[in-house]
Structure 1
Amino acid sequence: MSTKDASMPTHIESSPGMEKQGNVSAGGDDGLAFVLENGQDAWTEEEEKRVLRKIDSIILPLLFIAALFLYADAQAYGIAAIFGLVQDLGLYSLSVVDGAVVLDLSRYSMTACIYYLGAVAGMYPLLLLAQRLPIGRFLGGFIIFIGTLALLTITCHDYAGILTLRFFFGFQSVLTPLCIIITAMWWKTSEQPLRTGVWSGGAAIGNLCGQAIDLGAIHIGGVYAASPWKWLYVVLGSIALGLGAVVFAIFPNGPTRCWFLNDRERMIAVNRLLANNTGIHTKKFKRAQFVEVFKDPQTYCLSIYNFAFAFANSALGSFGGLLTSSFGYSNTQSLQLLMPASAVAIVSIAISAKITINRFQNRRVLISTLFILPSIAGNALLWKASRTNKGALLAGLYMSAIFYGVLPAMSAIASANIAGHTKKTTLNSVTAIFAACGSFAGPWAYKGSEEAEGYPTAQTVLMSLFAICAVTMGVLEFCYRRRNRIKALKLAELPAEARDPLMGFRDMTDFENPLFVYTT
Structure 2
Amino acid sequence: MSMDKKLESINSKEVPNKEDSNVDNHSDDNTAVDINDEGFDLFKRGGMNDVVDEAESKRVARKLDYHLLPILFVLYGINYVDKASLGWAAVLGTFETDVHVDVGDRYSWASAIFYYGYLGAQYPASYCLQKFPVGKVIASTTIFWGILMLCHMACSSYGGILACRFLLGVSEAPISGGFILFLSQFYTRKEQVGRTMVFGSSQGVFYVIFGFISYGLGHVTDAKLSEWQLVFLVLGICSLLIGAAWFALIPDTPAKARFLTEEEKIIAVKRVSKNMMGMSTHNWDWSQTFECFRDPKTLFLAGFLIFTMIPNGGLTNFGNQVLAGIVHNRLESIVVGIGQSFFSSGQMLIYSTFSLKYNNFRTIGMSAPLLLAIAGLSAVYATEDHGAKWGRVFAYWMINSYAVTWPFALATFGSNFAGHTKRASMSMILLLAFSVGNIIGPFCFHSYDAPKYTSALATNLGCFCAAFVIAVLLRFYLKWENNRRDKKYGVVEMDGLDEDERLEGILNGMKDQTDISNKQFRYVL
Candidates 483, 486, 498, aligned match of 1:485: 483
Q: Specify the alignment match of 2:58 in structure 1.
A: 49
Q: Specify the alignment match of 1:101 in structure 2.
A: none
Q: Specify the alignment match of 1:204 in structure 2.
A: 204
Residue 81 (structure 2) pairs with residue 76 (structure 1) = no
Give 1:155-194 correspondences, 5 Å limit.
Answer: 155-171=154-170, 172-194=172-194
Which blocks of at least 5 consecutive residues in structure 1 are unaligned? Answer: 1-7, 94-103
Supply the RMSD in Å over aligned alpha carbons: 2.4
Label 1:127 to 1:66 Cα distance change in 2 as closer, same or farther (>3 A).
farther
Q: Specify the alignment match of 2:456 in structure 1.
A: 458
1:10 Cα deviation from its structure 2 partner: 13
Give 1:108-507 correspondences, 5 Å limit.
Answer: 108-171=107-170, 172-224=172-224, 227-358=226-357, 360-388=358-386, 389-452=388-451, 454-492=452-490, 500=504, 502-507=507-512
Quote the Cα distance in structure 2 between the aligned partners of 1:193 and 1:17: 33
Which amino acid in the other structure matches residue 466 of structure 1? F
Give 1:22-37 correspondences, 5 Å limit.
Answer: 26=34, 28-36=36-44
Quote the Cα distance in structure 1 between the aligned partners of 2:8 and 2:260: 19
SS in 2 for 1:195: helix
Label 1:36 to 1:380 Cα distance change in 2 as closer, same or farther (>3 A).
same
1:36 Cα deviation from its structure 2 partner: 3.7
Which amino acid in the other structure matches residue 330 of structure 1? N
Per-residue CA shift, 1:159-180, capped at 9, x if unaligned?
0011011101102032111111
Quote the Cα distance in structure 1 between the aligned partners of 2:42 and 2:219: 54
Greater mean deviation of Cα atoms: 70-79 or 155-164: 70-79
Quote the Cα distance in structure 2 between the aligned partners of 1:31 and 1:219: 53
Greater mean deviation of Cα atoms: 75-84 or 263-272: 75-84
Which amino acid in the other structure matches residue 177 of structure 1? G
Label 1:211 to 1:10 Cα distance change in 2 as closer, same or farther (>3 A).
farther
Q: TM-score, normalised by structure 1?
A: 0.90
- Residues 112 and 440 in structure 2, CA contact (< 8 A), matched pair in contact too: yes
1:239 Cα deviation from its structure 2 partner: 1.4
- Residues 298 and 476 in structure 1, CA contact (< 8 A), matched pair in contact too: yes
Per-residue CA shift, 1:364-412, capped at 9, x if unaligned?
2123211101111111122120445312321221110111222343221
- Residues 289 and 421 in structure 2, CA contact (< 8 A), matched pair in contact too: yes
Label 1:9 to 1:230 Cα distance change in 2 as closer, same or farther (>3 A).
same
- Residues 218 and 232 in structure 1, CA contact (< 8 A), matched pair in contact too: no
- Residues 32 and 506 in structure 1, CA contact (< 8 A), matched pair in contact too: no
1:37 Cα deviation from its structure 2 partner: 5.5
SS in 2 for 1:400: helix
- Residues 16 and 33 in structure 2, CA contact (< 8 A), matched pair in contact too: no
- Residues 51 and 268 in structure 1, CA contact (< 8 A), matched pair in contact too: yes
Quote the Cα distance in structure 1 between the aligned partners of 2:491 and 2:467: 37
Which amino acid in the other structure matches residue 187 of structure 1? Y
Per-residue CA shift, 1:198-228, capped at 9, x if unaligned?
0111222222222122122233333446x21
Per-residue CA shift, 1:480-518, capped at 9, x if unaligned?
111111221232399996762522322111001111110
The count of corresponding residues between Structure 1 and Structure 2 is: 495
Quote the Cα distance in structure 2 between the aligned partners of 1:124 and 1:66: 22
- Residues 14 and 35 in structure 2, CA contact (< 8 A), matched pair in contact too: no
Q: Specify the alignment match of 1:5 in structure 2.
A: none
Candidates 98, 101, 112, aligned match of 1:88: 98
1:261 Cα deviation from its structure 2 partner: 0.6
SS in 2 for 1:154: helix
- Residues 315 and 443 in structure 1, CA contact (< 8 A), matched pair in contact too: yes
Greater mean deviation of Cα atoms: 64-73 or 380-389: 380-389
Residue 517 (structure 2) pairs with residue 512 (structure 1) = yes
Which amino acid in the other structure matches residue 153 of structure 1? H
Q: Specify the alignment match of 1:96 in structure 2.
A: none
Quote the Cα distance in structure 1 between the aligned partners of 2:14 and 2:261: 28
SS in 2 for 1:516: coil
Label 1:221 to 1:364 Cα distance change in 2 as closer, same or farther (>3 A).
same
Quote the Cα distance in structure 1 between the aligned partners of 2:214 and 2:491: 61
Quote the Cα distance in structure 1 between the aligned partners of 2:251 and 2:113: 33
1:245 Cα deviation from its structure 2 partner: 0.6
Q: TM-score, normalised by structure 2?
A: 0.89
1:354 Cα deviation from its structure 2 partner: 1.2
1:28 Cα deviation from its structure 2 partner: 4.0
Which amino acid in the other structure matches residue 507 of structure 2? L
Quote the Cα distance in structure 2 between the aligned partners of 1:27 and 1:409: 31
Which amino acid in the other structure matches residue 67 of structure 2? I
- Residues 193 and 352 in structure 2, CA contact (< 8 A), matched pair in contact too: yes
SS in 2 for 1:221: coil
Label 1:146 to 1:496 Cα distance change in 2 as closer, same or farther (>3 A).
closer
Label 1:183 to 1:288 Cα distance change in 2 as closer, same or farther (>3 A).
same
Which blocks of at least 5 consecutive residues in structure 2 are unaligned? Answer: 1-5, 19-31, 493-497
Greater mean deviation of Cα atoms: 37-46 or 214-223: 37-46
- Residues 124 and 429 in structure 1, CA contact (< 8 A), matched pair in contact too: yes
Which amino acid in the other structure matches residue 180 of structure 2? I
Quote the Cα distance in structure 2 between the aligned partners of 1:291 and 1:247: 33
- Residues 73 and 202 in structure 2, CA contact (< 8 A), matched pair in contact too: yes
1:39 Cα deviation from its structure 2 partner: 4.1
- Residues 218 and 331 in structure 2, CA contact (< 8 A), matched pair in contact too: no
Overall identity of the aligned pairs, in %: 25
1:134 Cα deviation from its structure 2 partner: 2.3
- Residues 69 and 143 in structure 1, CA contact (< 8 A), matched pair in contact too: no
1:262 Cα deviation from its structure 2 partner: 1.0
Greater mean deviation of Cα atoms: 399-408 or 71-80: 399-408
Which amino acid in the other structure matches residue 96 of structure 2? V
